[in-house]
């Protein structure tokens, strides 16, 4: 008759039941709501600071991100994002929110990809473009926007990248040194090089 050489099975039911109860408590709705409130509070502080730096309307009022409605709200009213004023405000709050969330994602080690792509942020709030490429009185506002973006990039010490496709071409820093390519008909350079195109435009 063969002898049973298997080790006796350890009874861990009580230990596992205790561990499961602990995890269920951590995942409880109240705990999750408290965590969300805490995280949103930190993100809201960052958004508020950027709104102040960008001189946006309502920057001196409590600003909060509403994750359920996916919008920002100025609590003195309340005023929701679509009611916050000009295109400059609308653009500014979007960028302030995206930058703030990326800073927070970095702080908590989130796997969210660490880059942001913006397409011509100057268009929304700077309609007074002149023929020589200047932006009149709005130039300082546009430069302030890029300074705010640069501040977020520097605060994350290389862990975050912002890629901007922009019509404006400022000589000021931090814009000038950040330019990697200038696509112009005059210099024959473009996002899609001409030698890639093998068909006539009329086809």
Strand partners, 79: 74
State the average pLDDT over residues 9-31.
80
**pLDDT tens digits, one per residue of 2-16:** 566 677 778 888 888
Strand partners, 164: 118
The pLDDT confidence band at residue 192, using thresholds 50, 70 and 90, is confident
Pick the closest to residue 166 from 187, 147, 142, 186 (CA basis): 142
Q: Is the pLDDT of residue 131 over 60?
A: no
How many alpha carbons fall within 13 Å on the CB side of residue 184?
8
The pLDDT confidence band at residue 87, using thresholds 50, 70 and 90, is confident
Full set of structural domains in the chain with CATH: 32-196 (3.40.50.300)
Q: Which residues contact 129 (CB under 8 A, 6 or more apart)?
A: 122, 135, 167, 168
Q: What is residue 8's predicted lDDT score, i.e. its pLDDT?
A: 76
Q: What is residue 48's predicted lDDT score, i.e. its pLDDT?
A: 93
Distances (CA, A) of 36 to 16, 63, 75, 108: 28, 16, 18, 13
Question: Would residue 109 be called left, alpha or beta, if left means φ above 0 and alpha means ψ between -120 and 50 degrees?
Answer: left
Q: What token pair was written down for 136?
A: 């009149």
């Amino acid at each position: 008759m063969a002898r049973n050489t298997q080790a006796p099975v350890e009874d861990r039911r009580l230990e596992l039941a205790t561990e499961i109860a602990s995890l269920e408590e951590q995942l409880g709705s109240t705990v999750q709501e408290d965590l969300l409130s805490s995280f949103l509070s930190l993100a809201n502080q960052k958004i508020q600071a950027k709104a102040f730096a960008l001189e946006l309307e309502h920057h001196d009022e409590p600003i909060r991100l509403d994750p359920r409605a996916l919008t920002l709200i100025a609590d003195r009213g309340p005023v929701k994002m679509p009611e916050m004023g000009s295109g400059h405000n609308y653009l500014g709050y979007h960028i302030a929110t995206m930058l703030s969330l990326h800073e927070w994602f970095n702080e908590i080690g989130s796997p969210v990809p660490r880059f942001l792509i913006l397409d011509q942020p100057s268009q929304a709030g700077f309609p007074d473009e002149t023929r020589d490429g200047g932006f009149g009185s709005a130039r300082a506002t546009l430069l302030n926007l890029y300074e705010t973006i640069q501040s977020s990039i520097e605060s994350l010490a290389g862990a975050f990248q912002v890629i901007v496709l922009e019509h404006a071409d400022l000589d000021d820093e931090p814009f000038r040194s950040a330019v990697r390519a200038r696509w112009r008909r005059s210099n024959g350079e473009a996002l899609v090089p001409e030698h890639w195109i093998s068909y006539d435009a009329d086809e």
